[in-house]
Structure 1
Amino acid sequence: MRRSAPGRRADRLIALSDALVAFGSDGVTPGRRDDVPVRAIVGSASRTADFDARFRPRHRDVRARHCPVGSTGVPPVKLVQLGELYFVIDGHHRIGAAIRARLTTVEADVVGIRTIAFASACLRPHHLATKAAERRFLERVPLDHAIRPHLWLDDPEHWSRLTDAVEAWGFRRALDTRTPTPSREQLAAVWWSDEVLPTVRRMRSRDPRAGDGQIIASYSWALRLRDRGASIRP
């Protein structure tokens, strides 16, 4: 995954609304009080124009408030959690004070929102388009939630190509086995176990360097090799 943001985009917060559009919402988890890593707080529900990525005021009319930092840190803030990322509901200035004091965690009241595409800790604003493409893929190919944290493709178009490939594979399989078309969940599970994993194993046995990336990235590369007429058998 590309972990550094180009240009000035690395210096802005992610809007919670933009993240929810990209990742997709799949329900709410019960609220809790927790110690949250400061580095995982990357966005805001309403004030992305007022603060930069280090929660410093962007404009003179957004006054920097004095937030006391005691031995126990700053007063609790309110956050929304998406995967490994957190977004501020209340407490922007307190988080800024925690960053200046080099605190590693802040106490927070947290509400979690389950997402369709997993929100990894290294995601930044310029990744949202790719995650939106991944979310569209998962809506049509609902892989098990245990697999989703490990999915990543650099190009949104690769997700579109992958969706078409899965559905074509499922159609061919139904014809070959003369069985009814399974549900989307069943198709996703069988495609992963019977097509993706064996294909990646063959690639890695032929060329270990082809397996350096994540499984889905290796499989996507195998599809592109097939499109070029190359064999992926050992």
Structure 2
Amino acid sequence: MDTKTGRFPTATRTFLPRRPERREELVSMSMNEQSNRTRARHEVERARFLGDVRDLLAILRREPNELLPFEWVRHLAPEGEHTLGVRAIPVEQIAGSVDRYREFDRHYLPRERHLDERWIGVRSAQLQGKELPPIQVYKVGELYFVKDGNHRVSVARRQGQKYIDAHVIELHVTVPPDEDDTLRDLIIKGEYARFLKETNLDRVVPGHREILFTTPGRYDRLIEHIRTRQYFLDRKPGRADQPPVTWEEAVESWYRRLYSRVVENLEKHDVMFRFPGRTEADLYLWIMDHRYFLTQKYGHDVGSEEATRDFRAHYAPPLYKRLRQRMRLLLKGDLGPAG
């Protein structure tokens, strides 16, 4: 301490010059980051352009190009959920979103320009080698719906990434969705799930054929057929002293004696080929109605085979309509083996 002033002497600071290599490293990092963002910006613009092209093709082909809204899943009547934890899931099986389904197309290409910066940020981080956190998804059947992480999915899919880490919550559904399903398809599958639950068909007839319609509101007709079957089985000769026919017995009898026989006749007489885009269940209802009409006309039950042949002969669409429908299904990729 200075005895004259009573103060401690001021310490002298020594300023070392910044190392040139450190300054160059910072400049280099800044340039790399800027380069990554520029590259990411070009990529998102390219992705949006491809999205516009796909939208145009979808319009020309008359097929959907939107992500599936998770809200539609409620039509499948899910029965509970459980957590699967973090696991690698296939990027190609991510088909929908909880709340961003309008911002990306079905291939997860971005649509909204004002969201480019988020996409660029994710891609830049990826280019810098940063580890991105897992996304969050719901699993429904074999498809996934994104709860959080839509931009990470978009970037991953654009880069051809096969798998992505995700927190997975699985919903239990009886009839799973397909990637190309429309709202109508999911409504029909939900009705099918309720039909299976009401009839216990999976348990009564294990390994039964899938029963799907192309129009909603048809499964109630099948329930009516089963109830009618139960009614007539109860009144067959010789059942006076026997217990009533159970619902399960009626379901099995309906499936094996009515539905399966119509399906066998469809195959035997090559009927499905004449009704492209229709299902066995569609034809079953039409032929049963036609069987009733012929029975009323001739005064006796003509049987399912005769009804099938007559329906095929009189109600199959003209050749030009079948060819047009087959071409439309072929362009959409929906032409099955029965064609």
TM-score range, shorter chain: 0.7 to 0.9
Q: Residue 42 of structure 1 aligns to a residue in which SS?
A: strand
> Unmatched 5+ residue regions in structure 2?
1-57, 295-302, 307-339
Change (3 A) 1:122 1:85: same
Shift of 1:97: 0.6
Shift of 1:10: 1.7
Alpha-carbon distance in structure 2 between the residues aligned to 1:97 and 1:43: 15
Structure with larger Rg = 2
Change (3 A) 1:56 1:210: closer
Change (3 A) 1:33 1:209: farther
Shift of 1:144: 1.1
Is residue 218 of structure 2 the alignment partner of residue 158 of structure 1?
Answer: yes
Larger RCO, structure (CA 8 Å, separation 6 or more): 1
Once the two structures are superposed, the pairs formed by residues 205-224 of structure 1 within 5 Å of their partners are: 205=268, 207-210=269-272, 217-224=279-286
Is residue 147 of structure 2 the alignment partner of residue 79 of structure 1?
Answer: no
CA shift digits 1:146-202 (9 cap, x unpaired): 75894422111433332322332233233335543524x665445334433343224
Shift of 1:219: 4.6
> Residue 87 of structure 2 aligns with which residue?
34
> Residue 17 of structure 1 aligns with which residue?
71
Aligned length in residues: 223
Shift of 1:29: 4.0
Alpha-carbon distance in structure 1 between the residues aligned to 2:174 and 2:221: 19
Which of the residues 163, 180, 192 maps onto 1:105? 163
Shift of 1:25: 1.1
Is residue 199 of structure 2 the alignment partner of residue 141 of structure 1?
Answer: yes
Alpha-carbon distance in structure 2 between the residues aligned to 1:193 and 1:70: 62
> Residue 3 of structure 1 aligns with which residue?
none
The percentage of aligned residue pairs carrying the same residue is 21
Change (3 A) 1:61 1:111: same
Larger % of helix: which? 2
CA RMSD of aligned residues (A): 3.6
Larger % of strand: which? 1
With structure 2 as the length reference, what TM-score do the two structures score? Answer: 0.54
Change (3 A) 1:193 1:48: same
Deviates more, 1:32-41 or 1:93-102: 32-41
Q: Residue 195 of structure 2 aligns to a residue in which SS?
A: helix
Is residue 174 of structure 2 the alignment partner of residue 174 of structure 1?
Answer: no
Once the two structures are superposed, the pairs formed by residues 114-129 of structure 1 within 5 Å of their partners are: 114-129=172-187
Deviates more, 1:171-180 or 1:84-93: 171-180
Shift of 1:136: 4.0
> Residue 66 of structure 1 aligns with which residue?
122
> Unmatched 5+ residue regions in structure 1?
1-5
Q: Residue 96 of structure 2 aligns to a residue in which SS?
A: strand
With structure 1 as the length reference, what TM-score do the two structures score? Answer: 0.74
Alpha-carbon distance in structure 1 between the residues aligned to 2:209 and 2:145: 19
Q: Residue 232 of structure 1 aligns to a residue in which SS?
A: helix
Shift of 1:100: 0.6
Deviates more, 1:100-109 or 1:172-181: 172-181
Alpha-carbon distance in structure 1 between the residues aligned to 2:72 and 2:181: 13
Alpha-carbon distance in structure 2 between the residues aligned to 1:82 and 1:233: 40
